[in-house]
């Protein structure tokens, strides 16, 4: 396994991380535990979850599965998206964040999280309030590092400026949709992160399965695929994205590998990326995706991948989670 610093921090994280959105939803406890155990045994030390994944079940499963192994992982969770109908059950106010952190710690069966992330920008809460709250969490020992997610470049830069001005801990990382099918972060966010020493943690690195090459038709979804289980996902399946998946598949065949492994390898080798989180519903998926860490791409292959994915540097992001107005 390769390990990198998370942004400019001293924290080392595995090049491939484990995403746990499916735990408690498409993977039950037994399947999830097998995946977690296999990930740790394979050298993966970064594990990402959130207070809303599978209606809190993801955190509960992780907390139970990590008993006796907590010290082996860099555990990350998030808060900020809508948790309930109450007016204070969303956002990044001190009130909401402190409540959610305590609840996450209970579910995760731990007294600290290594990385606490604001799930999305909150336009109704002053950034200074959010950042001072996170500072207090770090000083209390309940949080070790802080990160952002789904922030626009200007929102993240403003946050860093406030932290610098007030002498507060800075965001060391940010999560964003980033893949061969979504290169929009390269316009503003990534240059800013390279300049400021913020690590990128891509989510949807395979664009929900589009880059696995399994979608051959906009109307026919493979059994058990995201397009079948989530009807809203079908909006991403069109002739252009299918064509991209086919081109990546053709290129992967030259390396005698899968399009998923090739796509993940391209991401891992981006200089701004600290760790790439991949989800799994069964151990075999993770076993296959781990091959991406050791796959070295030559300059010609990188150029070809850049070329076929260049249209996806522009337009709308593949995914972006914001608070409803």
Question: 73-105, pLDDT tens digit by residue?
Answer: 999 999 999 999 999 999 999 999 999 999 999
Question: 118-140, pLDDT tens digit by residue?
Answer: 999 999 999 999 999 999 999 99
pTM over 0.85: yes
Confidence grade of residue 229 (pLDDT, cut at 50, 70, 90): low
Whether residue 224 is predicted with pLDDT greater than 90 in this model: the reply is no
Fold for the domain defined by 3-208+258-295: TIM Barrel (3.20.20)
Task: Say how far apart CA 294 and CA 34 lie, in whole Å.
Answer: 23
Please give the pLDDT value at position 243. Answer: 86
Whether residue 218 is predicted with pLDDT greater than 60 in this model: the reply is no
Q: Would residue 53 show up in a list of annotated catalytic residues for this protein?
A: yes
Q: How far is CA 17 from CA 125, 161, 274, in A?
A: 31, 29, 10
Whether residue 228 is predicted with pLDDT greater than 80 in this model: the reply is no
Please give the pLDDT value at position 213. Answer: 79
Task: State what percent of residues in the chain have pLDDT above 70.
Answer: 93
C-alpha neighbours within 13 Å on the C-beta side of residue 272: 23
Task: Say how far apart CA 19 and CA 170 lie, in whole Å.
Answer: 23
Q: How far is CA 123 from CA 6, 81, 100, 137, 322, in A?
A: 26, 12, 19, 21, 10
What's the whole-number mean pLDDT along residues 60-78?
97
Q: Where are the domains of the chain?
A: 3-208+258-295
DSSP string, 108-129: HT-S-EEEEEE-S--TTS-HHH
Using left for φ > 0, alpha for ψ between -120 and 50, and beta otherwise, residue 300 falls in alpha
Please give the pLDDT value at position 208. Answer: 84
Task: List the single range of 58-62, 88-92, 245-249 with lowest mean pLDDT.
Answer: 245-249
What's the whole-number mean pLDDT along residues 227-252?
77
What's the whole-number mean pLDDT along residues 21-42?
95
- Which residue among the candidates 3, 29, 38, 53 is catalytic per the annotation? 53
Question: 255-285, pLDDT tens digit by residue?
Answer: 899 999 999 999 999 999 999 999 999 999 9
Place of tokens 């799930």: 119
Whether residue 219 is predicted with pLDDT greater than 90 in this model: the reply is no
> 12 or 230, which is more confident?
12
Q: What is the chain's mean pLDDT, rounded?
A: 93
Whether residue 315 is predicted with pLDDT greater than 90 in this model: the reply is no
């Amino acid at each position: 396994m390769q390990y990198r610093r998370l942004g400019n921090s001293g924290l080392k994280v595995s090049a491939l991380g484990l995403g746990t959105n499916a735990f408690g939803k498409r993977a039950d406890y037994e399947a999830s535990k097998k995946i977690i155990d296999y990930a740790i045994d394979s050298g993966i030390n970064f594990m990402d979850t959130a207070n809303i994944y599978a209606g809190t079940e993801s955190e509960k499963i992780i907390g139970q599965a990590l008993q006796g192994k907590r010290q082996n992982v860099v555990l990350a969770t998030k808060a900020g998206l809508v948790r309930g109908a109450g007016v204070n059950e969303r956002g990044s106010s001190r009130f909401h964040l402190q409540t959610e952190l305590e609840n996450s710690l209970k579910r995760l069966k731990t007294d600290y999280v290594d990385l606490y992330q604001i799930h999305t920008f909150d336009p109704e809460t002053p950034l200074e309030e959010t950042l001072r709250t996170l500072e207090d969490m770090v000083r209390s020992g309940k949080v070790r590092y802080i990160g952002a997610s789904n922030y626009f470049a200007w929102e993240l830069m403003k946050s860093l400026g406030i932290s610098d001005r007030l002498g507060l801990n800075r965001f060391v990382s940010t999560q964003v949709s980033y893949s061969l099918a979504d290169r929009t972060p390269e316009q503003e966010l990534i240059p800013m992160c390279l300049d400021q020493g913020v690590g990128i943690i891509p989510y949807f690195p395979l664009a929900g399965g589009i880059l696995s090459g399994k979608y051959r038709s906009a109307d026919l979804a493979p059994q058990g695929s995201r397009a079948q289980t989530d009807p809203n996902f079908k909006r991403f399946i069109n002739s252009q994205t299918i064509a991209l998946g086919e081109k990546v598949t053709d290129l992967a065949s030259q390396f005698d590998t899968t399009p998923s492994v090739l796509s993940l390898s391209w991401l891992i080798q981006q200089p701004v990326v600290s760790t790439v989180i991949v989800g799994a519903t069964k151990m075999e998926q993770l076993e296959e995706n781990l091959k991406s860490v050791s796959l070295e791409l030559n300059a010609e292959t990188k150029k070809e991948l850049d070329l076929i994915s260049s249209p996806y540097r522009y337009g709308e992001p593949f995914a972006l989670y914001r608070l409803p107005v």
